[in-house]
Amino acid sequence: MNCINCVGLLLIVQMNFLGNFLPNVKKLPDVNQAVVALIVPKIMTFCIEELTSYEERQPTVEAVKLLQTCLTTFRGPCGPFRDRLEKSLIPLLDHENSELFELICDLFPLMSGTGGSGGNSEKDKHSADWSNMVNRLLKEAYDTLYQLYCDACPTLEVS
């Protein structure tokens, strides 16, 4: 086993450990604040970088599962990463790995709960941002369906 494989295996083990450990940390109020302030933003940054470097290597299912744990357990600190997360996930929606695809699809509803915890104007902006993202996803789905079935129904036009 070469050194690169060892590093990859170590990263997978670390991501699995964190994914299992983080939900239990939420139960400890003293440790919780330190995790929220220091560790969760670093984990989010690492996982997003892991997903965006997929041209060099395959994105790992473990990184997506760890993102899912963070979005489920610590919604507030994940808010600032919502845009970067969306930009890193959209290109992976056509990935051939079905398990990865399903996990990515499961992240989008969780993203709706991040951010928007401030005043009314911030909540309104959060709602508008989420609505815009859903509209972009619907347009992508429509464009894809149009490309697949344009010969069967030539009266449809791409908007």
Which pTM was predicted?
0.66
Q: What's the rounded Cα separation, in Å, for the pair 107 and 113?
A: 10
Question: What per-residue confidence (pLDDT) applies to 125?
Answer: 65
CB 86 within 8 A of CB 111: yes
Total residues found in the chain within this entry: 159
Report CA-CA distances (Å) from 156 to 28, 40, 116.
56, 46, 37
pLDDT digits (tens, 9 = 90+) for 61-83: 888 898 998 888 887 778 788 88
Q: What's the rounded Cα separation, in Å, for the pair 2 and 12?
A: 16
Judged against a pLDDT cut of 80, whether residue 49 lies above it is answered with yes
pLDDT digits (tens, 9 = 90+) for 115-158: 655 555 555 566 677 777 778 888 888 888 888 887 776 665 55
Question: What per-residue confidence (pLDDT) applies to 155?
Answer: 64
Domain ranges in the chain are 3-115
Which position has the higher pLDDT, 92 or 36?
Answer: 92
Q: What's the rounded Cα separation, in Å, for the pair 131 and 126?
A: 9
pLDDT digits (tens, 9 = 90+) for 7-41: 566 677 777 777 777 777 777 777 666 667 788 88
